[in-house]
Structure 1
Amino acid sequence: MLTLHTADASPETAVLVDGAHIAAVGPYERLAAGRPDAPVGRWPRIRTPGRLNPNGPEKLVHS
């Protein structure tokens, strides 16, 4: 499942995630336009690789 993640601290950038893999990193507007059906995760802090949050799916919001 593709999900798009962005942080309040850097709303202009995003990470597109496909399951456990990073599919793309880039400008939020470009990634969101390319995958308008992807659920969007908006986080209050910067996201970094290597962190596994088992409650992540419950925090995803649809744009």
Structure 2
Amino acid sequence: MLIELQEDNLKKIIDENPIVLVQFMATWCGNCRIMKPKFKKLSLEHPDVPFVLVDAEKFPES
């Protein structure tokens, strides 16, 4: 499942799941934009694992 972090609840997601994949990104980062569709595709292939996108500018403390 793909989760785009909307609030600073990353710790809660990690605490509630044995495996979590996190991509820290920034809107200005070209490599992040390239990686996002691949990350989304992987999330569809593994629906039992949370794939979390974190905007590092919006949530710098995550």
The TM-score range, normalised by the shorter chain, is: 0.3 to 0.5
Q: Judging by fraction of residues, say which structure has more strand.
A: 1
Q: Judging by fraction of residues, say which structure has more helix.
A: 2
Larger of the two Rg values belongs to structure: 2
* TM-score where L is the length of structure 2: 0.34
* TM-score where L is the length of structure 1: 0.34
Higher relative contact order (CA 8 A, sep 6+): 2
